[in-house]
C-alpha cells in the first residue's frame, strides 16, 4: 500500500431472512459508525433470486435484497483484516445465525473492493471479491455508485464491463 490514508471501499450487503430492508439499513448504519466511513454512497435495492448450489433445500429459495455501499475509509486505522472482523461482529449483532454455506441469512456483508488494491490472504479475505464479476447483483449495484472504478485484475473500467449486463 502507498502512504495515503483514505481509500474508497465498496461493500455488498444482502439479506433474505427477516425484515430484509431493516437488516440492510442496520448494517449500513453500523458500518458507518464502526468503521468511521465518510462520503458514503448507496445503490438502490436490487431484488434477486437466491444463488443456490445443486440439491439445496427448496425452502432456501428466498429472494434477496442487495445493495452496494461505497465510502472513504482510513486504512491506517482499519486494516483489511480488522474490517473483516468488524463486519463479522456487525452480522452477528444484526442476528445472523451460523448456517452452512449458501443457506438463507439475515445479513451478508462482503468487501467487494478497496480502491485498486489486490489482497489475497486466504479464502476469507480476497479483494476484489472473488465472485465480483460473476454475480449480477454485485455488478449492478456496484456500477450504479462507482461506475468509473477500474478493475485492478483486468485493467478495464468497471462501468464498461457492466454495460453488457441486462
| Distance of alpha carbon 115 from alpha carbon 104, whole angstroms | 30
The mean pLDDT of 87-92, rounded to a whole number, is 96
Write down the pTM of the prediction.
0.87
Domain ranges of the chain: 6-130
- pLDDT tens-digit map of 145-161: 988 887 777 654 454 44
Asked if 158 contacts 115 with a C-beta cutoff of 8 angstroms, the reply is no
Q: How confident is the model at residue 99 (pLDDT cuts 50, 70, 90)?
A: confident
The pLDDT score that the predictor gives to residue 128 is 80
Fold of 6-130: Alpha-Beta Plaits (3.30.70)
Amino acid at each position: 500500500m502507498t502512504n495515503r490514508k483514505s481509500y474508497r471501499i465498496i461493500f455488498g450487503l444482502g439479506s433474505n431472512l427477516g425484515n430484509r430492508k431493516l437488516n440492510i439499513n442496520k448494517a449500513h448504519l453500523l458500518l458507518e459508525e464502526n468503521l468511521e466511513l465518510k462520503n458514503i454512497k448507496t445503490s438502490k435495492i436490487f431484488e434477486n433470486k437466491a444463488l443456490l448450489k445443486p440439491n439445496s433445500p427448496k425452502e432456501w429459495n428466498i429472494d434477496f435484497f442487495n445493495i452496494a455501499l461505497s465510502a472513504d475509509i482510513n486504512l491506517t486505522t482499519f486494516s483489511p483484516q480488522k474490517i473483516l472482523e468488524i463486519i463479522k461482529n456487525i452480522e452477528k449483532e444484526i442476528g445472523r445465525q451460523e448456517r452452512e454455506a449458501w443457506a438463507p441469512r439475515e445479513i451478508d456483508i462482503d468487501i467487494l473492493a478497496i480502491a485498486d488494491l489486490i489482497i489475497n490472504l486466504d479464502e476469507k479475505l480476497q479483494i476484489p471479491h472473488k465472485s465480483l464479476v460473476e454475480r449480477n447483483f454485485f455488478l449492478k449495484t456496484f456500477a450504479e455508485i462507482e461506475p468509473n472504478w477500474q478493475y485492478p485484475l483486468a485493467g478495464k473500467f468497471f462501468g464498461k464491463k457492466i454495460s453488457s449486463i441486462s
